[in-house]
Chains A and B, each alone.
Chain A
Amino acid sequence: NAGVTQTPKFRILKIGQSMTLQCTQDMNHNYMYWYRQDPGMGLKLIYYSVGAGITDKGEVPNGYNVSRSTTEDFPLRLELAAPSQTSVYFCASSYSRGVARVTGELFFGEGSRLTVL
């Protein structure tokens, strides 16, 4: 039972480079999220998705893009990396049903530590 898997775990980028952080979950969760955690800080929501084909912006979406072509995968794309994007990125998923307001907890990946130099 893998849960939420993120790759890569570590990456160093040069300013202006681009990359994709991969996230996949095997729990058939409909909701998926990307957060960033800066040193000594809490979590900030970048993007989220309530199902395949549906994405929406969070608090800090600038400089990022996402897609959700399948239930399992939710990659985060960084375009033109900047030092301000140095952070630890967490992918998370949960299961919720709006009608019954069934609300499951978030399951987190182990994080991807990104440094932009």
Chain B
Amino acid sequence: AQSVAQPEDQVNVAEGNPLTVKCTYSVSGNPYLFWYVQYPNRGLQFLLKYITGDNLVKGSYGFEAEFNKSQTSFHLKKPSALVSDSALYFCAVRDSRNNFNKFYFGSGTKLNVKP
């Protein structure tokens, strides 16, 4: 079965410090991986995706993520956090082999960046 785990409900970081939001996944085929951000009372916005190729993917607003096949992880990172990065972050996966039509979402991680 396909699944996504975001082990941290909340991540707290000081402005200017690096941040990491964790994501692990389980699929039977090749994973197509995505990160989304949700600001209060808004829809989800796409940040970045991994389909194939370079394991380090760069996306919007200075975010990047590293695909690690052996650890089945796709952690979201940013070298220097901003207060404006405070939001809810979702990891999602699509399975190339089974249920390709569906995106599977994690439960979300709330990022708090303090000044």
Q: Do A and B come from one complex?
A: yes
Binding site for B on A (CB under 8 A): 4, 31, 33, 41-43, 45, 48, 50, 56, 58, 90, 92, 94, 96, 98, 101, 103, 105-111
Contact across chains for A41 and B107 when beta carbons are under 8 A apart: yes
Whether A111 contacts B107 in the complex (CB less than 8 A), given A56-B101, A103-B51, A106-B34, comes out as no
How many A-B pairs fall under 8 Å by CB? 53
Interface residues on B, range: 20 to 34
Contact across chains for A42 and B102 when beta carbons are under 8 A apart: no
Contact across chains for B45 and A108 when beta carbons are under 8 A apart: yes
List residues of chain A with CB within 8 A of the CB of B51: 103
Residue of A nearest to B30 (CB): A101
Whether A33 contacts B42 in the complex (CB less than 8 A), given A42-B108, A43-B90, A101-B96, comes out as no
Contact across chains for B43 and A33 when beta carbons are under 8 A apart: no
Q: Which of A94, A101, A111 contacts B42 (CB 8 A)?
A: A111
Cα A17 to Cα B45 in complex, Å, equals: 32
Contact across chains for A107 and B46 when beta carbons are under 8 A apart: yes
Contact across chains for A111 and B43 when beta carbons are under 8 A apart: yes
List residues of chain A with CB within 8 A of the CB of B102: 45, 48, 58
Q: Give A103 Cβ to nearest chain B Cβ, in Å.
A: 5
List residues of chain A with CB within 8 A of the CB of B44: 43, 90, 92, 106, 108
A-B contact pairs, 10 of them (CB 8 A): A4-B43, A42-B105, A50-B101, A56-B101, A92-B44, A103-B51, A103-B100, A105-B49, A106-B34, A107-B46
Which 3 pairs from chain A and chain B are nearest by CB? A108-B43, A42-B107, A108-B44
